[in-house]
Structure 1
């Protein structure tokens, strides 16, 4: 689940950067960096969702939505009315 949380956020952020770049300066360097980053994050979301234990068919279908699919899948997995918890900070012990 941790990989899914990280990749879902990376997918959304990379898409937002691409859209802001498209709407403003449209710098080719930003597009050439963020395009593959977004594509890889999208693939990570789909694969991580498929590998998640107990992932329902609906959760897997949600993960196929570009940009927000990973967050939708996490929300569906967490259950209705719950928020998706943040991953623990590096160096902290949970328990």
Structure 2
């Protein structure tokens, strides 16, 4: 799996877990574990997109959008960057 795709997916999944926890049981342990994980995934998406040679300036700016920026950047980069090069 492509590292950018994995980081973008983990960013969205961690955000869903954070919101689910917030609106249901609100366990502090979940927040303290998943919060930094989400932040690391966000930073990883931004860094990986910035290092991609195929990424235009607009694509790099899209990656800065929290929560969905990685998925938007993957969409702009096309199937080769997403790991679907068959």
Aligned to 2:30: 30
Aligned to 1:72: 72
Structure 2 gap ranges (5+): none
Count of paired positions: 85
Q: CA deviation at 1:69?
A: 0.4
Aligned to 1:14: 14
> TM-score scaled to structure 1, two decimals?
0.81
CA distance in 2, matches of 1:31, 1:13: 14
CA distance in 1, matches of 2:17, 2:58: 28
Structure 1 gap ranges (5+): 89-93
Aligned-CA RMSD value: 2.2
Aligned to 1:91: none
1:53 is aligned to 2:15:
no
Structure with more relative contact order (C-alpha pairs < 8 Å, separation 6 or more): 2
- The runs of at least 4 aligned residues of structure 1 exceeding 4 Å deviation read none
> TM-score scaled to structure 2, two decimals?
0.89
